[in-house]
Each structure stands twice: as C-alpha cells, then as structure tokens.
C-alpha cells in the first residue's frame, strides 16, 4: 500500500473540504487565526482555547489528518481567507436534485430540475472521465441511484451516513453517492461530503463484472 500517496491525498483533501472564501478582515471574538504553513493536531491543541468555534487559516496553510480529526471532534468551523470550497476541487461534483434540496454550508453545487435530468448529468460527468465521482443530494435518492445504475460505467449507492459512504467508496469503488439531506440532516450531509472528498479516486474492484454491451446511455432516461 502506498502510504505516502494516501497521506498526501488526505492532507490535500483536508485543505479543500472545510474551506470557504473569506469575508472581510474582521474576525469574530471566539475565533483562532492560524498562519502556520502546516497545522497539526498538536498545534491546534496548543492554540485552541475554550469557547472557540471558528478557525481562520491563511491561504497556504495545510491541515494534517490529525488536525482535521480534532476539528471534526470539536465541531469547529474552519474558514480559509481565500480560495473556494467546492466538491469539484478534489474531483468530486456535487449535484442538487430538485428545488427543495438545500445547498450544504461552504459548498456550491449544480442544481438540476428533477431525478431524470440529474441522472443524465451524472452520466455525462462520469462518462467524461472526471478524476473523482458525483455526490447527489435528492429527496428521492433511490430513484436517482436506480436510474443511474442502468448505465454500465456507474457504481451508485444510496447511503444513510458517512460510515456507509466510506464503506461503499472503499469496498465497491462507488463513483456515485446519493443521499437524502432530509433523512441524514445537516451534519450528516456534511460528513458524507467529507467522506467523498477524502476518498481514494473511485475504481471498480478487481472482481467487478465487465460493463455489459448495450448499457443504457443518457438518452432515454427522461421521465415517462
């Protein structure tokens, strides 16, 4: 196993997944400002004081996995002074299926009208060779996953939490994760998104059946 490569990917993903553009130069009272090139868990423990709910990082700071774990345990918000927090930064695309699906905090997603148009977009993205996968938030997750799985190159799964997402990402090489934000809640949605961002690039397991000939393309998935 390539430990070094995995560690680098975790560090890069940790930088990407909790960040949003800075908004001005005024920092809340209960905020810790860090400009260190590398922020470790040990460093965070030294700098954090009781009551801190927000950390502001400089543009070039890197969060190590131990720092990221500590932030998650204490449910602290992490903000970068510049840059964007998008699922696509790590190769994953975030799709919001339907007008009633809320946008996760600190992340921008592409909104689609309904399940059929969402599935068409999923097939387009995964067929274009993106390095990551697609996370869909939908109020009808099983319909999205079932329609998408008619396409041979898609390995989609509906998940009810981050642990299940990590399981199918690791064990099945899932390149489509679908979840209901209503069912999993705000925190659950955020953790599922984080699981996608820190996962290895999705690839089919060695024993995965070959893509069948005549698999369903994006056309023909319109609502009947």
Total structural domains within the chain = 2
210 falls within a domain: no
26, 51, 80 - which closes a domain:
80
Question: Does residue 53 share a domain with residue 18?
Answer: yes
My answer on whether 66 and 118 are in the same domain is no
67 and 12 inside one domain = yes
- pTM for the model stands at 0.59
- Is 222 contained in some domain? no
Whether 54 and 26 map to the same domain: the answer is yes
- Do 120 and 74 fall within a single domain? no
Same domain, residue pair 99 and 126: yes
Instruction: Identify whether residues 69 and 121 lie together within a single domain.
Output: no
Task: Domain of residue 106: give its range.
Answer: 87-198
Residues 14 and 72 in one domain: yes
- Angle CA 19–20–25, to nearest 5: 110
- Whether 216 maps to a domain, the answer reads no
pLDDT tens by residue, the chain, 224 residues: 444 555 555 555 554 544 444 444 344 445 677 777 788 888 888 888 777 777 877 666 777 888 888 888 887 877 766 443 334 446 788 999 988 888 776 667 889 989 999 999 999 999 888 888 999 999 999 999 999 999 988 999 999 999 999 999 999 999 999 999 999 998 899 889 888 888 888 998 888 887 655 555 444 444 44
Same domain (yes/no): 115, 165: yes
Q: What is the CATH number of the domain that holds 143?
A: 3.40.1400.10
Closest by alpha carbon to 222, among 164, 147, 151, 153? 147
């Amino acid at each position: 196993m390539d430990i070094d490569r995995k560690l680098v990917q975790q560090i890069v993903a940790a930088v990407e997944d909790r960040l949003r553009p800075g908004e001005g130069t005024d920092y809340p009272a209960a905020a810790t400002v860090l400009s260190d090139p590398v922020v470790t868990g040990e460093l965070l423990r030294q700098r954090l004081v009781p009551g801190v709910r927000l950390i502001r990082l400089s543009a070039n700071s890197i969060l190590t996995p131990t720092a990221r774990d500590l932030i998650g345990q204490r449910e602290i918000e992490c903000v970068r002074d510049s840059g964007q927090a998008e699922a696509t930064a790590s190769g994953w695309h975030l799709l919001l299926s339907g007008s009633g699906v809320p946008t996760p905090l600190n992340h921008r997603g592409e909104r689609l009208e309904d399940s059929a148009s969402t599935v068409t977009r999923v097939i387009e993205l995964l067929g274009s060779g993106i390095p990551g996968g697609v996370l869909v938030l939908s109020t009808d997750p099983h319909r999205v996953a079932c329609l998408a799985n008619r396409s041979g190159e898609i390995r989609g799964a509906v998940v009810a939490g981050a642990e299940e997402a990590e399981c199918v990402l690791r064990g099945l090489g899932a390149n489509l994760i679908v979840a209901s934000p209503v069912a999993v809640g705000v925190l659950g949605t955020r953790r599922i998104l984080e699981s996608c961002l820190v996962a290895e690039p999705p690839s089919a397991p060695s024993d995965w059946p070959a893509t069948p000939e005549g698999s369903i393309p994006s056309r023909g998935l319109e609502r009947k």
